[in-house]
Structure 1
């Protein structure tokens, strides 16, 4: 984080710290609201309620991407905000998606359906705990190279919903079958706690000549999300997963360069 963390006066938070924390609280509320609509849809409710449940989690992900940046912009980082953000992420991207998948499909598994849902929630909590434990560590190889360790919680929640996207797009009940959903949920859970190097925003670089093209692409992506959200989210998820092998290869190159640099420095010193 850039800048100095805000300090409380007389036991309170400065006014400028309220904005990012309010956005974090909104993300938490959207995550829990998604569970509310999933419960309603599970009781023979309309398909639209499943769509609203997914939309709530997606909006929570957008808000989660905003709060930290707004905090840095306002120089309003605080320990309170970091703790609130972690708790919000655990509920919005761990507990809520697990409950939605359980109510949508996994509850019909003859056994272990609840265990698969728990795995998604627990692995999200473990990932966030690992992140918090390492936040002040001196040696963080992935972070220092601009990469993340494993799939981040918001991305994991979005990827976990791939079977629901397929169901909404195609209308095929096969995608709702627990035989499909359970292994997928376990796969995403393992990706979240894995040591796989994945791209972060800081590791992505655009050439100046491509910036206008990128802005046009973002605009078209926003339009696609509005007009055909579930198919667009499928494409985004497929693209993210296809990038994982490239991120692993990129980090391997960074490690080789670092080893070569260290070896050269050792030879020069000897």
Structure 2
């Protein structure tokens, strides 16, 4: 008699069949499930007015959802099942959870405008994630462009959109005017998600570190963690503002690199161009 559950096929019907599934294949999926649980728990806590714990749960969900793919690659445990599950979890952890927590904390004071802003952010996050999946499959894209995201990445958007809450925790008054300003800010972050703004990804920056930078890097990371633990909301506020201020620099770096690549291509095609 057939079992009550279908057999787990991590690669689908078209992939290699595995008689006994290695435990390492399940670890990334477990992390994804835990991320979903954290995000949904954050929503519940927000509607119970336990906002600090709610924000912490949303940030934990974003962190877990951001590392599950990397862990899968490290363990060589990538699977079609995991990729589909991760995509479904992203919309919850990077879109729905932060938007609803922000709405429960502040945006509901703006009435329908606040709800519209929250909805627009969730839709923008979904569109951003869909576009990421499409671009990830684009083999014709120049290799150097892989160093840049198209638009603000969804994990960063989830952290940025909570900036009004960080400010509220450090003393920003929660008024109707603040709610409308927060709603406008939410819409702006949503637009940054779906924009074509090139944002430096840093994927290739940390593979090799010069010896003389190892100790300063360690001290810098330790200092940031200590600040985050002692002055959590102030540190997150400063980090979010700094990220937003660095976006124009990322655009300028992309434009310079694009011009350099175009000039090199022109010289390769017509050597007289360099004269």
Query: Shared topology, TM-score over 0.5?
Result: yes
For residue 232 of structure 1, the aligned residue among 235, 242, 248 is 235
Cα distance, 1:16 vs structure 2: 1.7
Q: TM-score, normalised by structure 1?
A: 0.88
Per the alignment, residue 29 of structure 2 pairs with: 21
Structure 2: 5+ residue stretches without partners? 1-9
Q: Aligned-pair RMSD on alpha carbons?
A: 2.4
Contact 1:30/1:57 (8 A) holds in 2: yes
Contact 2:109/2:176 (8 A) holds in 1: no
Cα distance, 1:145 vs structure 2: 4.3
Per the alignment, residue 52 of structure 2 pairs with: 51
Give secondary structure in 1 for the equivalent of 2:48: helix
- Shift in alpha-carbon separation, 1:164–1:175, aligned structure 2, 3 A: farther
- Shift in alpha-carbon separation, 1:142–1:113, aligned structure 2, 3 A: farther
- Shift in alpha-carbon separation, 1:20–1:221, aligned structure 2, 3 A: same
Measured in 2, the distance between the counterparts of 1:176 and 1:53 equals 23
For residue 31 of structure 1, the aligned residue among 39, 57, 62 is 39
Larger Rg: 2
Measured in 1, the distance between the counterparts of 2:99 and 2:79 equals 29
Structure 1: 5+ residue stretches without partners? 42-48
Q: Deviations over 1:229-250 (max 9, x none)?
A: 1111011111211211111111
1:94 equivalenced with 2:95 (yes/no): yes
Cα distance, 1:30 vs structure 2: 0.7
Measured in 1, the distance between the counterparts of 2:162 and 2:218 equals 27
Per the alignment, residue 249 of structure 1 pairs with: 252
Moved more, 73-82 or 160-169: 73-82
- Shift in alpha-carbon separation, 1:193–1:11, aligned structure 2, 3 A: farther
- Shift in alpha-carbon separation, 1:169–1:19, aligned structure 2, 3 A: same
Q: Deviations over 1:142-201 (max 9, x none)?
A: 863411111111110110011110110125224983221111000000011111111112
The count of aligned residue pairs is: 259
- Shift in alpha-carbon separation, 1:100–1:68, aligned structure 2, 3 A: same
1:79 equivalenced with 2:80 (yes/no): yes
Measured in 2, the distance between the counterparts of 1:267 and 1:183 equals 49
Per the alignment, residue 3 of structure 2 pairs with: none
Cα distance, 1:10 vs structure 2: 5.2
Cα distance, 1:139 vs structure 2: 2.7
- Shift in alpha-carbon separation, 1:76–1:163, aligned structure 2, 3 A: same
Per the alignment, residue 124 of structure 2 pairs with: 123
Moved more, 103-112 or 128-137: 103-112
Q: Deviations over 1:196-252 (max 9, x none)?
A: 111112253654422221111111111111111111101111121121111111111
Q: TM-score, normalised by structure 2?
A: 0.87
Measured in 2, the distance between the counterparts of 1:177 and 1:171 equals 8
Per the alignment, residue 44 of structure 1 pairs with: none
1:263 equivalenced with 2:271 (yes/no): no
